[in-house]
């Protein structure tokens, strides 16, 4: 491999002849027609091709930093749009004045505004039946979407109102009708018959099938009034039929009864006629028929509304569709495996006919993700209440509780295995709660036969339990040999160590004995005790700051005045006057005699 390569030798020589700074030196290229040897050079061609530069507007290139800023601006716009949409959909609706509206119109308005109506009915002489009397919240107030608006709807006139019964026998048919209309009588039925003795249009007689009626009737009392048609004609006259479409069903029935006709009523759906109105009759108006003819009336059942299939609708689309059809809806949300906002169920079967008064309940998904906060430091009931609320919406959250001794208050959460994260709807959350600190149970039962002050009453037991953090549970039960109100049994042994917050059952003698307080003033402590008052009252003796003349070691004041009646064991404070100080003598007084001098004088006299 020692053979020389002419090409490499020439190339190396060429490199050696080039100047050191090669940046400004170009390698000569062989011109056309020249031999390769005369301008020999070696050029290494890289295989990497640089990406083609894309020119931006203005022939300027944007820096990466500019792109990042643009992305942040775009993201911020998206967040603002989302917040605006959430605000628009949850800002609520301003309540309008629905007073004197028909219930059906209010239901349409509520459906348009995604509000649930709570209807309560009551009688009213001021509002027609089916009209709205009042509402809560009031007009102008705000109500949340899917919130509840309470309305009172008139049931019409109260049928139980009592009225004076007029002398119907002296009235005409028009006067009876006017009296019934003015007083909202609901069951006054006027019929007519031929009479040769009573003038046409005057009342022949009336009937009230109620033995309790004397001179007063209720609006709902059935009264049958028979009015004279005058003398009976010799031949039956044909009856000219009215246009029943202009009459109510009740008026049509009355006409048929008065004219000895028989009505047959059929019902049919109609897209334009309100429910209960007559839309057709078997015999045309103005036709003459004989008495006893059967007339068939067709009564509207209103527009036939079929319940649609809401499974393909969003909540907003469903609300709009139901409102257009006049179907009141109630939207409820619950957790499920479906995506948030997806339809879950409807209470009325699709394709069925909507009946007036029904409310369609639509259920949509809340998704299957829940944000879990930290409940450390809070009571156990707080996280359990949170879980219960979610479970009522379809979740299956389980709280697993472990108890341990800790100085934190009893049932305080001191550890939570999951916190500040998103969890599933069937997650189990493990928490550790404090059992509280350990305390010693006090002795709350005195020796049988003890007096008040030594015997433990409910007040004393309560204070003792609060001091150590126990929960007293009192049970009244009679026990002989114990004072009224005295604790004679405790469920936990004295000095036993238990956790703070542990309940202790305390049985006590019922305080069913009353004591009338005497006047203790002027009595000594020994006398009061000797009279047995410590078996009746809890007495505390205190000494007065200053002596009271004539009351040395005697009671001068009592905290509850004499004559009051109190329960046995009641605490009372008795203030006792201290003894009066001895009288100091003046040593310069000549009238005073020193005992020592007397002794000396006596001794001298004796000696003399």
> Which range is least confidently modeled, 12-26, 346-360, 474-488?
12-26
* Fold adopted by 438-508: Trypsin Inhibitor V; Chain A (3.30.10)
Average pLDDT in the 23-46 region?
A: 47
Checking if the pLDDT of 23 tops 50, the result is no
Checking if the pLDDT of 160 tops 70, the result is yes
pLDDT band of residue 603 (cuts 50, 70, 90) is very low
Question: Do the first three CATH levels of 369-434 and 514-576 match, i.e. the same topology?
Answer: yes
pLDDT score of 402: 95
pLDDT score of 209: 78
Average pLDDT in the 323-352 region?
A: 91
pLDDT band of residue 274 (cuts 50, 70, 90) is confident
Average pLDDT in the 337-352 region?
A: 91
Average pLDDT in the 234-243 region?
A: 84
pLDDT band of residue 38 (cuts 50, 70, 90) is very low
pLDDT score of 57: 46
- Give the whole-angstrom CA distance, residue 335 versus residue 363: 10
Cβ neighbours for 435, distance < 8 A, ≥ 6 positions apart = 403, 404, 405, 406, 410, 499, 500
pLDDT score of 280: 94
Checking if the pLDDT of 139 tops 60, the result is yes
| pLDDT > 90: percent of the chain | 54
Average pLDDT in the 297-312 region?
A: 90
How do residues 190-236 score in pLDDT, each as one tens digit?
A: 999 988 889 899 999 998 877 777 788 888 889 999 999 888 776 66
Whole-prediction pTM = 0.39
How do residues 513-566 score in pLDDT, each as one tens digit?
A: 899 999 999 999 999 999 999 999 999 999 999 999 889 999 999 999 999 999
* Fold adopted by 310-365: Trypsin Inhibitor V; Chain A (3.30.10)
How do residues 423-432 score in pLDDT, each as one tens digit?
A: 999 999 999 9
Element (H, E) at 595: helix 595-607
Element (H, E) at 288: strand 288-289
pLDDT score of 359: 93
Q: Residue ranges per domain, the chain?
A: 6-39, 310-365, 369-434, 438-508, 514-576
Mean pLDDT of the chain: 84
Average pLDDT in the 100-112 region?
A: 91
Say if residues 121 and 154 touch (Cβ distance below 8 Å): yes
The strand ranges marked E within 61-174 are 93-94, 116-122, 132-136, 142-143, 148-154, 162-164
Q: How many CB atoms lie within 10 A of CB 323?
A: 19
How do residues 363-405 score in pLDDT, each as one tens digit?
A: 999 999 999 999 999 999 999 999 999 999 999 999 999 999 8
How do residues 445-500 score in pLDDT, each as one tens digit?
A: 999 999 998 999 999 999 999 999 899 999 999 999 999 999 999 999 999 999 98
Please report where in the chains the tokens 């409910």 appear, as a residue: 458
- Give the whole-angstrom CA distance, residue 241 versus residue 255: 9
| pLDDT > 70: percent of the chain | 83
Distance, CA of 231 to chain centre: 71
At CA 110, angle to CA 106 and CA 116, rounded to 5?
Answer: 110
Checking if the pLDDT of 422 tops 90, the result is yes
Checking if the pLDDT of 278 tops 60, the result is yes
pLDDT band of residue 58 (cuts 50, 70, 90) is very low
**CB hemisphere CA count around 269 (13 angstroms):** 8
Tell me the pairing of strands 223-228 and 148-154. Answer: unpaired
pLDDT band of residue 88 (cuts 50, 70, 90) is low
Say if residues 431 and 400 touch (Cβ distance below 8 Å): yes
* Fold adopted by 514-576: Trypsin Inhibitor V; Chain A (3.30.10)
More confident site: 42 or 207: 207
The structural architecture, per CATH, of the domain 369-434 is: 2-Layer Sandwich (3.30)
């Amino acid at each position: 491999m020692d053979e020389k390569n002419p090409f490499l030798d020439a190339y190396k020589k060429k490199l050696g002849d080039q100047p050191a700074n090669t940046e400004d030196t170009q390698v000569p290229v062989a011109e056309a027609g020249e031999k390769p040897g005369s301008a020999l050079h070696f050029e290494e061609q890289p295989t990497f091709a640089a990406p083609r530069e894309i020119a931006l507007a203005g022939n300027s290139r944007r820096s990466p930093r500019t792109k990042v800023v643009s992305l942040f601006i775009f993201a911020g716009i998206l967040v603002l749009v989302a917040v605006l949409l959430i605000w628009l959909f949850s800002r609520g609706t301003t309540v309008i004045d629905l007073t004197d509206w028909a219930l059906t119109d209010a239901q349409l308005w509520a459906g348009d505004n995604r509000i649930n109506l709570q209807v309560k009915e009551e009688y009213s002489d001021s509002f027609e039946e089916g009209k709205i009397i009042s509402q809560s919240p009031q007009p102008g107030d705000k109500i949340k979407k899917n919130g509840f608006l309470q309305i009172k709807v008139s049931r019409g006139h109260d049928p139980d109102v009592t009225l004076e019964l007029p002398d119907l026998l002296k009235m005409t048919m028009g006067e009876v009708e006017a009296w019934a209309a003015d007083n909202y009588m609901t069951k006054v039925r006027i019929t007519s018959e031929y009479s040769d003795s009573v003038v046409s249009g005057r009342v022949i007689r009336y009937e009230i099938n109620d033995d309790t009626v004397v001179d007063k009737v209720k609006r709902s009392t059935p009264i049958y009034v028979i009015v004279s048609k005058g003398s009976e004609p010799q031949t039956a006259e044909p009856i000219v039929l009215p246009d029943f479409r202009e009459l109510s069903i009740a008026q049509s029935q009355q006409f048929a009864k008065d004219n000895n006709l028989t009505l047959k009523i059929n019902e049919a759906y109609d897209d334009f006629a309100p429910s209960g109105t007559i839309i057709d009759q078997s015999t045309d108006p103005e036709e003459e028929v004989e008495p006893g003819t059967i007339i068939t009336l067709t009564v509207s059942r209103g527009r036939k509304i079929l319940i649609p299939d809401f499974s393909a609708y969003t909540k907003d689309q469903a609300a709009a569709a139901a409102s257009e059809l006049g179907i009141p809806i109630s939207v409820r949300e619950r957790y499920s495996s479906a995506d948030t906002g997806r339809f879950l169920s409807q209470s009325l079967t699709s394709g069925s006919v909507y009946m007036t008064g029904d409310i369609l309940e639509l259920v949509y998904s809340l998704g299957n993700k829940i944000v879990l906060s930290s409940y450390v430091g809070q009571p156990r009931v707080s996280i359990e209440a949170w879980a219960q609320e979610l479970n009522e919406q379809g979740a299956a959250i389980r709280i697993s509780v472990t108890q341990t001794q800790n100085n934190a208050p009893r049932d305080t959460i001191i550890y939570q295995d999951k916190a500040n994260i998103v969890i599933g709807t069937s997650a189990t959350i493990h928490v550790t709660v404090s059992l509280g600190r350990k305390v010693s149970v006090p002795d709350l039962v005195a020796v049988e036969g003890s007096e008040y002050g030594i015997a433990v009453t409910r007040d004393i037991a309560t204070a003792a339990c609060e001091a150590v953090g126990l929960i007293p549970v009192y049970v009244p039960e009679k026990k002989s040999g114990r004072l009224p109100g005295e604790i004679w049994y405790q469920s936990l042994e004295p000095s036993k160590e238990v956790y703070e917050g542990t309940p202790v059952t305390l049985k006590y003698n019922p305080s069913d004995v009353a004591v009338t307080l005497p006047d203790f003033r002027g009595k000594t402590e020994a006398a009061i005790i000797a009279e047995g008052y410590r078996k009746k009252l809890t007495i505390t003796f205190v000494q007065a700051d200053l002596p009271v003349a004539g009351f040395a070691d005697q009671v001068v004041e009592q905290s509850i005045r004499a004559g009051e009646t109190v329960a046995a064991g009641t605490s009372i404070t008795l203030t006792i006057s201290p003894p009066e100080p001895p009288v100091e003598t003046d040593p310069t007084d000549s009238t005073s005699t020193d005992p020592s001098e007397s002794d000396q004088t006596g001794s001298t006299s004796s000696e003399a």
